[in-house]
Amino acid sequence: MASTLESKVEERKDNNEKTIDREKTCPLLLRVFCSTGRHNALTEYRRGNVPPNELQIYTWMDATLKELVNLIQDVNPDTRRRGTIFEFRLIYPDLNKPIPRMKELGTVTMGQKGFDDTKTLLQLGFMIGDFMDIAITHPSRGPPPRRIRPY
């Protein structure tokens, strides 16, 4: 499923980063691969191949993980449920071997503020051409409701 989204125009200033003027800066293409309950296997990224579950997002280097979650929810409403967990991995080429490398980036949980929510692509070491692999875990439905017996 290949979709194209554009991040909402928003300026952000961080002490460690220079401000990106999203009105004047051309966005980059971020290739995202989402799976339910697990990450895609690293072997699926070998020899120029990619998994079939691609989502294409146009965004900027100052985009946060939370912002990426919001864009994914625009095309996948099932992920909007409170407690849904998004686990981010960066997939990038190993320049010395034909095997791609992987780096854990962080986790965002719907309905909860977290430490990783405000991490940006730039802070996480993303480079144009890298892939983002996201495991989406829906909250458990919990045990069935107890029935109360009338006396």
Encode 94-142 in three state secondary structure.
Answer: CCCCCCCEEEEEEEEECCCCCCCCCCECCCCCCCCCCEEEEEEECCCCC
**How much is the pTM?**
0.79
- pLDDT band of residue 10 (cuts 50, 70, 90) is very low
- Each domain of the chain, given as residue ranges in start order, spans 21-137
**What gap in Å lies between CA 97 and CA 39, rounded to an integer?**
22
**What gap in Å lies between CA 48 and CA 69, rounded to an integer?**
26
pLDDT by residue (tens digit) across 64-122?
A: 999 999 999 999 888 999 999 999 999 998 888 878 999 999 999 999 999 999 999 99
Output the average pLDDT for the chain.
Answer: 84
pLDDT by residue (tens digit) across 13-22?
A: 444 456 788 8
Provide CATH code, domain 21-137. Answer: 3.10.20.550
- pLDDT band of residue 1 (cuts 50, 70, 90) is very low
pLDDT by residue (tens digit) across 123-149?
A: 999 999 999 999 999 987 544 555 555
**pLDDT at position 19:** 77
DSSP state at residue 53: -
